[in-house]
Structure 1
Amino acid sequence: MNQTSLDKNMIEESALLEGEAPMPGAPSVLISDSKACIPQHFMTFQHDRQSVEEVVSNINFDEDYLVFVDEDKAGVFIQLGIVGKDNYRQDNDKKIVYGRRWRVEATLPTSEIIQTVFLAIKSAREHEIRELFKLSILGGVATPFNNHHDLPMMANYSDQFLCQSHANNKLQSDFSITDLLASITYDNAKFTLIDIEQRHNGTYLIDIQILPFFQGRLSELINKTLTLLVHELTANAVLHELMTQLVQLSNRYVEENFKFKQFARFSRSVSIDAIANTSILTRSNVAKEASESFKTIFKNSNYETDITRVPSIHDSVLGCALRNRLKSFGSLQGILPKNFLPNKSVD
């Protein structure tokens, strides 16, 4: 069947969300024996708060993560509210805290709005778990991986924070690694050493079991063991790799539980082959068969969208540095920033 001449009755009108509209003459694609669709890259978008709210209302994740849609003078934004216990207090009272604002452009494709929420949740959850990683040291308890450390101060005194400035002796035995793990709590869970093995290339594999706290907040810790790969047996290397593994566990939890219309797009159960096949079907094949008039409409639409995203370069230290960097690339494809070469695109 010709993809550009499918029966329009086969296209589910209900599949179109508020803020979406097909480009004039947009080709449709047969995706099953009785269903067809117009791929999203052949649509135009004009989103507002109401249309973004419609998209977000179809997203499901953890009940403790609330997705707000609001607007101010700068436009529409998405913002997370996270409900839970205060990470730095001992009481059991729940509170709500808010993450950063994620801007949503009016012309942003619906799929990218969904992915913006996905990234906002991953980012917010990583922020939280970094605060749950606690290290007992010098008679106190610290959260060395949290995001609230004073970076300008640390940069001003960077020599104070380098490993060679502190005792960072190699861990010489399983017993010392056990001591290190005993000094850590994570969502009130504990870690215990299972095994350590040095490979022929000098790297170390360290198997660690997580012993979750029965009132813990992070369900991804249940029945989990971790295998750390480090190139040297130092406390610094082990702690960094352990934090990396915990971030990966959190990200995998989000991937499996984030759903749009009950579809877990980022789950490992979604077939890569199916995604690749659909991409070929809706992009390469359609592009070959589309009419010349539509190809012109498609090209112009993409340009009109792209030009709305071009930033300006200002007369400042950063602006001067950016101009020099751009000049160093020579001839570039695309649209130059505003105030670099006004009203000119790079050939």
Structure 2
Amino acid sequence: MTLHTLNLTPHGLGERVMPLAPTLTLRNGQRWVAQHYLRYQHTVESVSALLAQIDFDAHTPLFAGQDEQGVYVQVGLIGRENYDRSNTLRVHKLVYGRKWRIDADTPTSEIIQTAFLAIKKAREHEVRELLTVRSRDGKTSAAFSNHHDLPLLAQQRDQLQAGNHRVATLDVAAAVQHQLASLRFAQRAIELVQVLELSAGRVLIDVQLGAAPLARQLEGDFPEFEQLALCVLLPAARLHELPYALMDALIEHSDRHVDETFRFRGFARFSRSNQIQAIADLSLQTRPYAHDLADVQFEQIFRANNYEVDASRAPALGEGELGRKNRQLINQYENLLGHLPRGYEQTHETKMA
């Protein structure tokens, strides 16, 4: 009988099997305890052990730490300073993404997926800084970055709105070319390949990233974008959205790169080379709930554990205006199931029929 070490180890890796939990036999004969029949008590040591089994690339270290708020996962990125657009080679710099909090009862699979998502979002942060816009006075701005002053933008909203700008048929290619001339991605020009006008007022735009400056080529940052071809679809009446569509396409390319490169124990879980029907079949094999919960004693243990975990995740209602808004929103629903926020039951006014 073969048992997976991590799945059944009672100590040291943050997992233990529920009392009376059944062991299932997969169609290939392997024995297994499903993850939904485990209890979790993860620590910085167990999270560190999981991250050590993840492989991505040589520029993206993963960290597990603990502070006053608990355990967290954090992504590092080793690269060059995005805002230094000189023509000289730049030294490497290590920067860090946000801290992703890990509750002790977080299932192991969710911790791995948190690291996956953290890598995607850390890379997106960089990609947003690399698509730049040249202003009318010739200066360059990372207009898509996450470092803009949101209260200021909200105050200036009337100055930022764009209306519909219908472009005459003969001018579509020229309008696209005009916009592309002001855009760069990682100091690469974005070259127009073709514009196709489709039915229903839609426009298909093919572009390709040009070559990076020599110094950038030698640095080798984000090589997966080299000479990248992109295709975007826009309504002809909203050609001014072209930079947004390009940003979406660049982020999608980055995300797909992570899908295919991210590995846990050598397995590319999110790769599209995996057969989705095979994943569905394996998942169904691990969920014979009707059979497993026929054991009355285990059924009580299982449901009590789920209740305890779900209850522990309910947040506080909120203070001040936030609490008032949340209460008003929740009050719209009668007989709402689930665990209500802490403080809601004591403070809300019962709605009259």
TM-score (norm 2): 0.88
Look up the equivalent residue of 1:191 and give its one-letter code.
Answer: I
Look up the equivalent residue of 1:288 and give its one-letter code.
Answer: H
Asked if the contact 2:60–2:76 (Cα under 8 Å) also holds between the matched residues in 1, the reply is: yes
Asked if the contact 1:45–1:109 (Cα under 8 Å) also holds between the matched residues in 2, the reply is: yes
How many angstroms apart in 2 are the aligned matches of 1:170 and 1:145? Answer: 25
| 2:232 aligns with one of 228, 242, 246 | 228
- Compute the displacement of 1:314 (Å): 3.8
In structure 2, the partner of 1:78 is 73
User: Quick one: structure 1 residues 183 and 222, their matched pair in 2 at CA, closer, same or farther if it must change by over 3 Å?
Assistant: same
How many angstroms apart in 2 are the aligned matches of 1:335 and 1:62? Answer: 40
How many residues end up aligned between the 2 structures?
A: 332
| 1:247 aligns with one of 247, 251, 276 | 251
For 2:274, what is the secondary structure of its paired residue? coil
How many angstroms apart in 1 are the aligned matches of 2:237 and 2:61? Answer: 41
- Compute the displacement of 1:236 (Å): 2.4
| 2:125 aligns with one of 101, 118, 127 | 127
- Compute the displacement of 1:239 (Å): 1.0
* Correspondence 1:55-74 to 2 at 5 A: 55-74=50-69
My pick for the range that moved more, 124-133 or 322-331, is 322-331
My pick for the range that moved more, 174-183 or 150-159, is 174-183
My pick for the range that moved more, 70-79 or 224-233, is 224-233
User: Quick one: structure 1 residues 16 and 259, their matched pair in 2 at CA, closer, same or farther if it must change by over 3 Å?
Assistant: farther
- Compute the displacement of 1:211 (Å): 2.6
My pick for the range that moved more, 255-264 or 167-176, is 167-176
Asked if 1:33 is matched to 2:18, the reply is no
- Compute the displacement of 1:41 (Å): 0.9
- Compute the displacement of 1:194 (Å): 1.6
In structure 2, the partner of 1:147 is 146
Look up the equivalent residue of 1:141 and give its one-letter code.
Answer: T
For 2:42, what is the secondary structure of its paired residue? coil
* Correspondence 1:137-216 to 2 at 5 A: 137-138=135-136, 139-164=138-163, 170=167, 172-213=171-212, 214-215=217-218, 216=220
| Runs (5+) with no aligned partner, structure 1 | 1-8, 343-347
Asked if 1:261 is matched to 2:265, the reply is yes
Asked if 1:97 is matched to 2:74, the reply is no
After superposition, the C-alpha distances for 1:78-134 in whole angstroms (9 at most, x for unaligned) are: 111211110111350111111111100000000000111111111110000000111
* Correspondence 1:280-299 to 2 at 5 A: 280-283=284-287, 285-290=288-293, 291-299=295-303
Asked if the contact 2:165–2:237 (Cα under 8 Å) also holds between the matched residues in 1, the reply is: no
User: Quick one: structure 1 residues 233 and 187, their matched pair in 2 at CA, closer, same or farther if it must change by over 3 Å?
Assistant: farther
My pick for the range that moved more, 311-320 or 238-247, is 311-320
Asked if the contact 1:26–1:42 (Cα under 8 Å) also holds between the matched residues in 2, the reply is: yes
User: Quick one: structure 1 residues 140 and 78, their matched pair in 2 at CA, closer, same or farther if it must change by over 3 Å?
Assistant: same
After superposition, the C-alpha distances for 1:214-241 in whole angstroms (9 at most, x for unaligned) are: 3442232245321110012555211111
For 2:200, what is the secondary structure of its paired residue? coil
Asked if the contact 1:187–1:218 (Cα under 8 Å) also holds between the matched residues in 2, the reply is: no
| Runs (5+) with no aligned partner, structure 2 | 347-353
Look up the equivalent residue of 2:90 and give its one-letter code.
Answer: N
- Compute the displacement of 1:295 (Å): 1.6
For 1:134, what is the secondary structure of its paired residue? strand
Look up the equivalent residue of 1:326 and give its one-letter code.
Answer: I
* Correspondence 1:32-51 to 2 at 5 A: 32-51=27-46
How many angstroms apart in 1 are the aligned matches of 2:225 and 2:331? Answer: 50
- Compute the displacement of 1:315 (Å): 4.3
How many angstroms apart in 1 are the aligned matches of 2:278 and 2:175? Answer: 48
| Matched-pair identity in % | 36
Quote the RMSD (CA, aligned, Å): 2.1
Asked if the contact 1:313–1:339 (Cα under 8 Å) also holds between the matched residues in 2, the reply is: yes
In structure 1, the partner of 2:309 is 305
How many angstroms apart in 1 are the aligned matches of 2:177 and 2:325? Answer: 49
